[in-house]
Structure 1
């Protein structure tokens, strides 16, 4: 329950209907903002805060407690608004599907100091819950290159693969492994995620230094369709993850 929002509405004498009219949304949307797991779009948060005479961070403090780098925050906001997420990864397991131990290993291998890794792992786990465990989670489709499944110590990868199998049982999660015998493919240029929102499609592209967002998604959709066409179907992917024949 968002008690801060509820209290602010009561103080101003606003109902779901009256606040909805000022913000430009349906009253049912306001009601969902009060319940757990639903964070408004940034522009709606700003409009609601203005209507209630409060600061945005006072009404949605959890949004501002996250410790992800500033360049990542626009994408985190987009994830929360997405009705569908389509992710391709060639080198690592997608962040939304990582176990804490795997996330720690991945983050430790980069530029973060030892004292920073724990905070970033905690932030990643909160993102997972906020996106995939909310009341109406998005459709999440992930194509994962087999290389990513083979990279890592067996003791690290066994529980990570178990987690992937468990996540793949969820009705809103579709996993597809891109097998090695697919050869050189359209995704070789790097990982990406396409988010479908009420405002259109937004893509996230990652590199060594930072990530960036783009609304120019036409080329990525073409790559995505190609990758899906050569990846294993969902059932075969689950069987492949369970077999894990490459682990010793």
Structure 2
């Protein structure tokens, strides 16, 4: 099992433990308050791992805290354990949607930009920052994989115009990513004014089963959203945000314009 991604290792251990107890997915699901199809989706990677689910699974399967402990190994790889369910959803997604009113989404950040973001926490040691940056860059691999997801990222123009020396490189990277057929980067011009997106950033992932999950960030932590009504609300807000953005080619034109202005600063 050495070298196997943590999420895959958790699923493998979950399947083994369930089988050793002689439980079908349906029977196991009843004991953890999941349907058999939901258990199947978790085991196949079509539904993100969740700490509450794994805690209950450890209890039912009498595995101690094995599954939850494996989830916590994400911290060793440079990500907090609360972020692991979203990484899992992102890695297995068929479609991804991102919006942030003030910064570039993590999946599209350069190493220098990500490093600057992580250094906002001045208690972090340089070694920890290095691990976080490396982990973030590894996420980018899904954009050019053999079967990449469709990615739509909406960014406010204000996020492009930060007066910082790293922004020209970041803008050049965005333009390069925008050349990929599966990546759409849409810009909301500053002239738009206030809109629903200013309530906060959000991300959405559609898995192989067609179901959506969301992810919300705060100053301290993040939350994966998979309750149907809440996901529906996020999808509706996402559509409202996207409707404020320029079309793809106009967005690219604006990014090029801002890039040239950073070069003259």
TM above 0.5, one fold?
A: yes
Matching residue of 1:138: 149
Q: Whole-Å Cα distance in 2 between the matches of residues 3 and 126 of structure 1?
A: 15
Q: Is the CA contact (8 Å cut-off) linking 1:161 and 1:241 kept in structure 2?
A: yes
Q: 1:152 to 1:98 in 2, by over 3 A?
A: farther
Q: Distance between the aligned counterparts of 2:124 and 2:76, measured in 1?
A: 20
TM-score by length of 1: 0.73
Q: Tell me the TM-score normalised to structure 2 length.
A: 0.69
2:133 is aligned to: 121
- For the 8 Å contact 2:205–2:212, the answer to whether it is kept is yes
Query: 1:42·1:77 contact (CA, 8 Å) conserved in 2?
Result: no
Q: Tell me the secondary structure at the aligned position of residue 217 of structure 1.
A: helix
Task: Report the alpha carbon displacement of residue 134 of structure 1 after superposing the two structures with TM.
Answer: 1.8
Q: 1:42 Cα shift? A: 5.2
Tell me what 1:14 maps to. none
Q: Aligned residue pairs: how many?
A: 201
Structure 1 ranges of 4+ moved more than 3 A? 62-65
Shift of 1:65: 6.3
Which of 79, 83, 103 lines up with 1:68 in the alignment? 79
C-alpha change, 1:112 and 1:68, in structure 2 (3 Å) is farther
SS in 2 for 1:66: coil
Within 5 A, what are the aligned runs for 1:1-248? 43-44=43-44, 66-110=77-121, 112-115=123-126, 116-129=128-141, 131-153=142-164, 155-199=165-209, 200-215=211-226, 216-244=230-258, 246-247=261-262, 248=265
**Does the 8 Å CA contact 1:144/1:177 hold for their aligned counterparts?**
yes
> What is the Cα deviation at residue 137 of structure 1?
0.7
Unaligned 5+ runs, structure 2: 5-23, 26-40, 50-65, 68-72
